[in-house]
Every structure is written in C-alpha cells, then in structure tokens.
Amino acid sequence: MTNNYVSIYFIYPNKSQIKVIASVGDNLLEAAHKYGIKIKANCGGKCSCTTCHVYVEESYFVQISELYDIEDKELDKLETNSAIEYNSRLSCQITVTKSMHNMKVYISDDSYGEHEH
C-alpha cells in the first residue's frame, strides 16, 4: 500500500464485505462509489440528507471524532434518522486519511441501494 491509499472494508447489511483501496483525501462515499458499492446519496454528497448514513468501526470512530469534530450540520441531519447510533456518520463527510487503514464501515439498511436522481 503506498502512502496515498488505504484499505477500507465496507460491510453490507447482509454482513458480506468488500475491501476497497481508497485514495487519501477522498471521502468515504466517493471511495465506495468508485468500487460500485451502492450507498445512496440523494443530495449528491452535500450533507443535505442522511441517505449515505454509515456506522464506523468503534476504535476508528473515536479516532475520527478526535481528528474531526462532527459539524453541527451533519449532527442535525443525523438526529433526523431513526437508525442513528453512537458511531453514526454520513459517509460524504468523512475524509479518508492514512490512519484509517483497515477500517470497517458498516452500511446501514436504509442507506444501501441506488440513490434517487
């Protein structure tokens, strides 16, 4: 793995998983879509909906939370989602960093599928 890429595992609602090689600087939604992973993004990744809602592996969630405070806009959106958990995030709002190597991202049931146009 070069310094500009990390492995990230996306876990589908049915518990199957796919490993992606994500570019540092992309967001998780972009990384997933490059590999054909169907995470909805009705707003196009602009933090205007919650269709790209994911759950971040606990140890990485703590690390991400320390690096990036959750923005009020994202928190306000997440609070409207009935499936919110302590480790919920919007995949469009998490920028891939080197420290995320081997992180697991769990796709929520309502976020899996084709996005609306």
Domain boundaries, the chain: 5-111
Number of H helices, E strands in the chain: 3, 5
Whether the CB-CB separation of 33 and 63 falls below 8 Å is answered with no
24-82: pLDDT as tens digits: 999 999 999 999 999 999 988 888 888 999 999 988 877 776 666 666 677 677 777 77
Distance of CA 92 to CAs 1, 2, 15, 53, Å? 23, 23, 22, 9
Residue 77's pLDDT is 72
CATH classification (class only), 5-111? alpha beta
CA–CA gap between residue 50 and residue 35 (Å, rounded)? 21
CA–CA gap between residue 76 and residue 65 (Å, rounded)? 16
